[in-house]
Amino acid sequence: MPDLSWYWRRAQAMNLPEVIARIRRKGRQIMDARRDRDWAAIRLEAGDFPALPGPGEAPPELVEILRRDGERIMAGHWRAFGGLPLKVEDPPQWHRDYLAAVSLPTTRSAFQLDHRALPQGADIKLIWELSRWLELVRLAQAARLLPSERAAEKCLLWLEDWIKHNPPFRGWNWISALESGTRLLQFTWIDALLSPLADQWGFEAELETLRYEILPPHAWHCWRHRSFGSSANNHLLGELAGLIVALGRWPALAHWAAPLPKLKALFEAEILKQFAPDGGHREQALNYHLYALEFCLQARLALRSAGLPYGPSIEDRLSRAAVFYAAAQQPADPWDYGDSDEAYVSPLFADSTRRVREWIQWLENPASSPAIQYWLKGETLSAGPPTVDEGTWRLFTESGQAVLAKGGWFWRWDLSPLGYLSTAAHGHLDALHLSLWRHGVAWVVDPGTGAYYAQPDLRAWLAGRAAHNTPCPLALDFPRRAGPFLWREGHGPPQVKRISEVEMQATLELAGCRVSRRFFAAESGNGWTVEDACGNREGQAVDFAVRWQFAPGTVAEKAGADGIILRRGGEKLTVLASGNWSSTRWVATREESGGDHPLAGTVSPHFRRVEFAPYWLLEARAGAVPKGKPCVFRTTFLA
């Protein structure tokens, strides 16, 4: 378990009303752990939500992929986090981390379990991922569209087995209300997909039993133990969305939770809190932006079906969120910023390996993403196609991000505060970090996330300043990480000055230190220059380093004393360092990184997958700058 200092600092992130609310929730946990309820006391009559399109309207590509996915899943070849291959048994072990090969079966009360530090390198995220039922929804989709009675039977058998090994409020899968909300949402899809086939294939009784075994306890748990206070991030959106979607199909579930109008009011308030007026999500984590937006879209479907559509201010905010995401992400070679576990809400895409591309295509033009358009038939966001202003910085001031697209170059500049709420749970020390793509190929990348609980050293490194290319003062450790999803301190947004269409300067104030970065067109050639400086409050220069982390697969050769020529994906790039850097060090392999941090060069292109990628480490020593010379250091990128 985390040491006591983590709990102390976590308590310090709470205000008094939150502390009182957590004491009350502990009382509810004690009651729920001891009291059995009659989950069949209220009859559940299903409405016609979600109104699914006919199987004959399905895109042929989706049908063919579902044919392959159905066979893959039934053969025990599952995918976690969109693409991580796992071999599971039939039925799966629902309390097993298949990546660490560790099983942790338990029937203890979930309210007494500590999920933050599992033994033998296990990570709760791997256990929860299987119990989000994403692969079961895929089986239900295959059952309807192929059609496949075998896929339907397997889906129901595995749900029955899940219930057998996960009685209400016991075991690892009942710890988080977000997981309950997610399963509510998935079961709504499963029931809608399989119900029309139940009489024909003779499993109506099994499906009816599952409804009472799954829906009431999940709705009760999700509502009574929902997130609040300093924990009310995307988790609360997911919990409320799960309840809204389930109540959209079974209105009587309000008995176990809350009336739909109340849920709608809470959900709309969270949308306005979590998405900034310019559309960015305040958690400073790009994958969670899309994740939260997916919850909002599914809740929108349910509320509209119930005659409770979003108000104009909510529609406007979500349209801006769609524009932001499409502007900030590169679909052909996507790299997120901030935490990313590659979570998605439901498998509404055709191909999980193209999930980001399909969603961006749908946001820009629903018809260009046939699978998502099929499942969300009639849905769209009214802002029109998201665009990036060609040739000028597009600054999302409230969110703290900027993007520049010009002549095949695409830059994304992080100009954000550390994160959302007092914990900044999903934020990284990436303020002033620049990411670069050229002609859709990623060059300079954010290093990713790696893991959440299983590898704390890796998690801390990838979230830290030294792993990013923001100027990193060598003698400064601020803000400091306090453990999983918790920082001891935060920092505000950098001060940004727009000088011209393509030139900007940003300054970040840290504890006793001022870090600045200026970006402008290169003086010669087709390219850009980044100028960095670092000083104390008295204006004196301090030592700092910049680590240009390149994408995996980048190869290099020397270009003079202070330059390198890079190649990746059929593209070529030249990078030059000004002559006043104290040292420049190209590191192509882990064996060449001796003397650097043990994890230097580690990147995580996907959650729970890491690899080494080359980097260029530049160090600036204030004392090495000749008297009278400017104490600024440049890196230039040329096509």
Query: The CATH number of the domain where 216 resides is what?
Result: 1.50.10.100
Residue where a domain terminates, one of 283, 305, 327 = 283
For 431-440, the pLDDT digits (tens) are 999 999 999 9
Is position 343 within any domain?
Answer: no
- Tell me the pLDDT band of 4, cut-offs 50, 70 and 90: confident
DSSP 358-412: HHHHHHH-GGGSHHHHHHTTT---TT-S----BTS-EEETTTTEEEEEETTEEEE
- Residue 248 belongs to some domain of the structure: yes
**Residue 608 is assigned to a structural domain of this protein:** yes
Average pLDDT over residues 477-503: 93
In a domain, residue 20? The reply is: no
Q: Decide which of 250, 283, 316 is a domain's last residue.
A: 283
* Mean pLDDT to the nearest integer, 570-576: 96
Mean pLDDT on 145-162: 98
Torsion angle (degrees, nearest 10) of CA 499, 500, 503, 509? 30
What is the distance between the alpha carbons of residues 523 and 577, in angstroms, rounded to a whole number?
14
Contact, 167 vs 107, CB < 8 A?
Answer: yes
Domain span including residue 620: 394-638
Cβ of 147: how many Cβ atoms within 10 Å? 15
Element (H, E) at 605: strand 602-606
CA 88 to CA 162: how far, in whole Å?
Answer: 14
Per DSSP, 625 falls in state: S
When pLDDT is averaged across residues 135-139 and rounded to a whole number, the result is: 98
- The residue written with tokens 């358009």 in the block is 373
Looking at residue 274, the DSSP 8-state letter turns out to be H
pLDDT of residue 30: 86
264 and 411 in a single domain? The answer is no
Looking at 95-146, which runs of residues are DSSP E strands? 96-97, 102-103
Work out the burial of residue 16: count CB atoms within 10 Å of its CB; fewer than 13 is exposed, 13-18 middle, 19 or more buried: exposed
Q: Which helix (H) or strand (E) holds 482?
A: strand 481-483
Tell me the C-alpha distance between 578 and 265, whole Å. 55
Domain-embedded: residue 30: no
Domain boundary among 237, 253, 283: 283
Q: How many domains does the chain have?
A: 2
Whether 549 and 603 have beta carbons less than 8 Å apart is answered as: yes
Q: What percent of the chain has pLDDT over 70?
A: 97
Is residue 410 located within the same domain as residue 268? no
List, as one string, the DSSP characters of 517-543: EEEEE-SSSSEEEEEEEEEETTS-B--
- Do residues 72 and 217 share a domain? yes
How many angstroms separate the CA atoms of 141 and 356, rounded? Answer: 20
pLDDT band at 2 (very low <50, low <70, confident <90, very high): low
Both 408 and 272 in one domain: the answer is no
Q: Are residues 272 and 400 in the same domain?
A: no
pLDDT at 117: 85
How many residues appear in the chain? 639
Domain presence at residue 530: yes
Residues 21, 228 contacting (CB under 8 angstroms)? yes
* Cross-strand partners of 446: none
Query: Is residue 290, in this structure, part of any structural domain at all?
Result: no
Burial of 598 (0-12, 13-18, 19+ CB in 10 A): exposed
DSSP 109: B
**In this structure, is residue 512 part of a structural domain?**
yes
Provide the CATH number for the domain around residue 553.
2.70.98.70
